[in-house]
Amino acid sequence: MRTLDKIVIHCSATPPTMDIGVKEIRSWHVNERKWRDIGYHFVVRRDGEVQLGRPIEMQGAHARGHNKTSVGVCWVGGVDKDMNPENNMTKEQEAELWCTVQNLMLTYGINKDQVVGHRDLPGVTKACPSFDVKQWIDGKD
């Protein structure tokens, strides 16, 4: 097993009317980007279902320069109908995202300061995951 020290939260940058999952994201990553598999380890669908993506033992393809020691968790949504960043996470998604993050933190000894949004990483200019992860995590205390 590889050493994990960070959880990076992403959004799929899809409007809330687009209920997709691992199958669709894997297709985008493999067929359009020519990656070997989906870049994320977990995907949280609109109804809160958590789907397994790339095996956690494998390095992800979700955060350049941080993939070797991080886990990528993506929630479906993150933009409005005009493709502007928007936190449109459902209550079910938020609950399961938090549960997934907590489980990963406990399993791999990752502290809350190492749970970040994609946009929090150096050099990232995207709004992903369309909410402030640090504020969200701090609100869970």
DSSP state of 31: I
DSSP state of 14: B
CB atoms within 10 A of CB 50: 18
Closest of 33, 86, 99 to residue 62, by C-alpha: 33
Q: How many degrees, rounded to 5, is the angle at CA 39 between CA 34 and CA 45? A: 120
Is 74 one of the catalytic residues?
no
Residue 41 lies in a domain: yes
* pLDDT tens digits for range 96-129: 999 999 999 999 999 999 999 999 999 999 999 9
Q: In terms of residue numbers, what domain contains 56? A: 6-138
* pLDDT tens digits for range 12-71: 999 999 999 999 999 999 999 999 999 999 999 999 999 999 999 999 999 999 999 999
Position 32: which residue type?
Answer: E
Residue with tokens 């929090």: 120
- For 42, the 3-state DSSP assignment is strand
Residue 15's H or E segment, with its range, is none
Is 108 one of the catalytic residues?
no
Residue 1 lies in a domain: no
> How confident is the model over 72-100, as a mean pLDDT?
97
Dihedral sign for Cα atoms in the order 127, 67, 93, 24: positive
Residue 74 lies in a domain: yes
What CATH number is given to the structural domain containing 35?
3.40.80.10
Catalytic residue among 10, 29, 41, 62: 10
Residue 111 lies in a domain: yes
82/103 Cα distance (integer angstroms): 34
When the pLDDT of each residue in the chain is averaged and rounded to a whole number, the result is 96
Catalytic residue among 29, 41, 66, 118: 118
Is 126 one of the catalytic residues?
yes
Q: Is the pLDDT reported for residue 141 higher than 80?
A: no
Domains contained in the chain, number: 1
Is 40 one of the catalytic residues?
yes
* pLDDT tens digits for range 25-36: 999 999 999 999
Residue 113 lies in a domain: yes
Q: How many degrees, rounded to 5, is the angle at CA 92 between CA 86 and CA 94? A: 55
Q: What is the token pair recorded at 41?
A: 């380890």
Instruction: Flag whether the pTM goes above 0.85.
Output: yes
**Per-residue pLDDT, 2:** 87
